[in-house]
Chain A
Amino acid sequence: MTTTQPVTEPPRSLGQAARERLGTAFGPWFLPTLAAVIIFGLMVALRPLVASPTGLNLVLAPLIPLIFAVLAQMFIIAAGDIDLGIGSFIGLANVVIAVIIPDSPVAGILFLIGMVVAYAAMGVLIAVRGLPSIVVTLGMSFVWLGVAILILPTPGGVVPEGIVSFVRFNPQVVPGVIIVLTVVTVAVALFLSRSKYGAVLRGSGSNAEGVRRAGWSVIRAKVSLYVLAAVFGLLSGLYLSGQTGGGDPYIAQSYVLLSIAGVIVGGGSFKGGEVSAVGAVAGALVVGLLGSLLQFIGVQSSFQAAAQGLVLVLVLVLRALVNWIQKVRRTL
């Protein structure tokens, strides 16, 4: 290896630093953001109504829970793991909010806190015992789903009015969805790329040895990532609950693969550590808006899924191309 590529593969920590500096200028968030803007622009061109406050709300509101799910998945992927249980976890949160909280808010909130603790425990198990996250999270997904079905065998329940109006909060001046989108993106992005602990968290996935040598606990960092993922999973469940008004254990099953796609389209990598909050949000928008765009264009319903997949692959191909060009430039 070292003899064939002596220049392009410097020691890992250095490479990481170089990529970071490059990242802030023209980073992995750029391409997905561009793609999201293009898709949104096309939608506005096809239906100008989309850009009105009502239109923005109609188009973006259903994507808020998906954005939270993608951010949850991003924390797990930052740890170098994959979470196949996030969909069922969000479904369980939805069921708790629709069934337990109306009866007894205290019990419901304790239950939700218990779910976060369970996620932390799962993180400990994966980090300490070195178990494959795919298997553990897949196994836990059946636990979340099973508990949700025990609480609510068939969809139903009523989400408390307070949560519904909080989630649908929509002031006259700026659409509520824009506020949520901006606040969440800025907060997570600043935490991950500007704070010291954010760097430690990302390092735990890509460069565990370096983090350990710097005197931080890798296990604690990984568990923190799992806790963050659980909290964002709960937020996703909260928004889904408020938007739908009822509970359904199966509601977020499709989020498992969509959230992984969102992170990867958003510039993340399975290697761990390489994630971008802005990119992940943009990735979620790309994954989520594509369906609406294809619908506006009038792609026949049977081809919609295939067309959606093709566009996602196209984005990844473009990204590989950009990476390749950057690499070539660096070596020249």
Chain B
Amino acid sequence: MMIPLRTAYRRRLAIGALIVAAAAVLTGCSNSGTDAGSTGDTGTDGVKPIKIALSNYFNGNIWRKQMEASFEATAKANPDYVSDFKVVNSDGSAPQQAQQIQSLVLEGYDAIIIDAASPTALNGAIQEACDVGVTVVVFDSLATADCAYKVAFDYETYGEVEAQFLADQLGGKGNVLFVRGIAGITVDDDIYRGATSVLSKYPDMKIVGEVYGEFTESTAQQEVAKILPSLPQVDGVLTEGNDGGGTLDAFLQAGTSPLPVIIQGNSGQGLEGWVKVAQENPDYKTMSISSQPSISSTALWLSWMLINDQNDASTLPDKTVYAPLLIIPEENRDAWADALDYTQIAENPTTLEQAQSYVKSAIDGDPVLQDEPLPPTS
């Protein structure tokens, strides 16, 4: 009895709203027109600042928190480029993130950058955003929608670099423990594939155990401590980021000697541990590698370039830019260990110039996949 009434009401509401919407779109257009004119005097001639939102699906670990913070810091520090920004979170749920993206479209953002909960689950929402003219950039954890631009880490390179380093250190021979990330996600898949492709060239290098550290130092420590008693002598440990420090602690607590070569994952905790071990044993060699939380800033700059038609960003092959992995070799170790807090991950704040150089190298077909910078001086 009440249902038909409601639809009738809704229909009338919809027609009324259509008029309102048309008006809103018209005023929106004229507004953005004046915006572009008024900012012409700020040194960015002919370009307009963008209204941008970051949609994240999980902010429960330090990498993600730093990622959000990097976006906010870059947006705040560059009012000539970013007129308005917002960060939303979907608490691990893909359908909720899809809904958030659609709400952001209604809120009239020029660009939405997305750390995606699933490679496939957001594609419908992303397509709808593209259809109404919103610039969509996915980064870090990617979605496969064709219309979205992508800022990626080459995680296969991550696995190749650390496995090659380990093979060189161990002379192509030894037992390896693999501390993996989270089962069933593409980051873990890619790093594992890259690392095992290198190890397959060394028949004497064997993976004797695998645990899932979930990119979290404390989890890595518990999981490694649990599996250690069942393992033969471990000569090297491959890791996937923010898990090397916990792994090192597990070996230290078990009193393992000599310590295996443990690849570190760029956390303050891991680097401090490495410094301490090296003080006692100057011959102890390892390296540290991970992705940079500041990739969110690269995605922000890419959105700005796309909307303002700069740097031929729209001609990117596969619509993909690579953000470099950050590698800390031994000579940079102490500087980074000093610069980082215990629960911080190494990152280089990305400037517009850097983002532009990433875009250029990707268009030239020679993307920058890794970098060995010193910590930023501030």
Q: A: which residues have CB within 8 A of B?
A: 44, 47-56, 58-59, 61-63, 65-66, 98, 149, 153-157, 168, 174-175, 178, 182, 185-186, 240, 242-255, 288, 291-292, 295-296, 298, 301-302, 304-305
Least Cβ–Cβ distance between A51 and chain B, in angstroms: 3
Least Cβ–Cβ distance between B265 and chain A, in angstroms: 22
How would residues 1 to 26 of chain B score, 1 for a CB under 8 Å from any chain A CB and 0 otherwise? 00100110011011011101100100
Q: Is the CB of B3 within 8 A of A251?
A: no
Least Cβ–Cβ distance between B275 and chain A, in angstroms: 33
Chain B residues with CB under 8 A of A182: 3, 6-7
Q: Is the CB of A155 within 8 A of B118?
A: yes
The 4 closest A-B pairs by CB, nearest first: A246-B120, A51-B17, A254-B93, A52-B21
Chain B residues with CB under 8 A of A65: 95
In the assembled complex, B210 has its CB within 8 A of some CB on chain A: no
Least Cβ–Cβ distance between A288 and chain B, in angstroms: 7
Q: Is the CB of A48 within 8 A of B20?
A: yes
Number of A-B contacts (CB under 8 A): 158
Give the complex CA separation of A295 and B24 in angstroms: 20
Q: Is the CB of B7 within 8 A of A244?
A: no
Chain B residues with CB under 8 A of A249: 184
Q: Which residues of B (174-208) have their CB < 8 Å from a CB of A?
A: 184-186, 189
Q: Is the CB of B99 within 8 A of A243?
A: no
Q: Is the CB of B119 within 8 A of A58?
A: no
> Which of B18, B104, B120, B144: most chain A CB closer than 10 A?
B120
Give the complex CA separation of A98 and B120 in angstroms: 10
Chain B residues with CB under 8 A of A51: 13-14, 16-17, 20-21
The main secondary structure of chain A at its interface with chain B is helix
Chain B residues with CB under 8 A of A55: 17, 21, 106
Give the complex CA separation of A185 and B4 in angstroms: 12
In the assembled complex, B87 has its CB within 8 A of some CB on chain A: yes
In the assembled complex, B168 has its CB within 8 A of some CB on chain A: no
Least Cβ–Cβ distance between B58 and chain A, in angstroms: 11
Least Cβ–Cβ distance between A248 and chain B, in angstroms: 4
Given the known inter-chain contacts A58-B128, A62-B98, please indicate yes or no for A155 contacting B120, CB distance below 8 A: yes
Chain A residues with CB under 8 A of B13: 51
> Which of B106, B185, B186: most chain A CB closer than 10 A?
B106
Q: Is the CB of B96 within 8 A of A291?
A: yes
Given the known inter-chain contacts A54-B21, A304-B89, please indicate yes or no for A174 contacting B106, CB distance below 8 A: no
8 Å CB contact of B95 from A47, A49, A155, A254: A254
Chain A residues with CB under 8 A of B125: 62, 243-244
Q: Is the CB of A291 within 8 A of B124?
A: no
Give the complex CA separation of A290 and B122 in angstroms: 20
Given the known inter-chain contacts A52-B20, A154-B184, A250-B118, please indicate yes or no for A301 contacting B89, CB distance below 8 A: yes
Give the complex CA separation of A140 and B96 in angstroms: 24
How would residues 85 to 102 of chain B score, 1 for a CB under 8 Å from any chain A CB and 0 otherwise? 011111111111011101
Q: Is the CB of B102 within 8 A of A186?
A: no
Chain A residues with CB under 8 A of B96: 254, 291
Least Cβ–Cβ distance between A159 and chain B, in angstroms: 9
Chain A residues with CB under 8 A of B103: 58-59, 291-292, 295-296
User: Which residue of chain A has its CB nearest to the CB of B92?
Assistant: A254
Least Cβ–Cβ distance between A277 and chain B, in angstroms: 11
Q: Is the CB of A153 within 8 A of B106?
A: no
Give the complex CA separation of A156 and B20 in angstroms: 40
Q: Is the CB of A246 within 8 A of B16?
A: no
Chain B residues with CB under 8 A of A291: 90, 96, 99-100, 103
8 Å CB contact of A251 from B95, B102, B186, B189: B95
Given the known inter-chain contacts A47-B106, A246-B144, A295-B88, please indicate yes or no for A52 contacting B14, CB distance below 8 A: yes
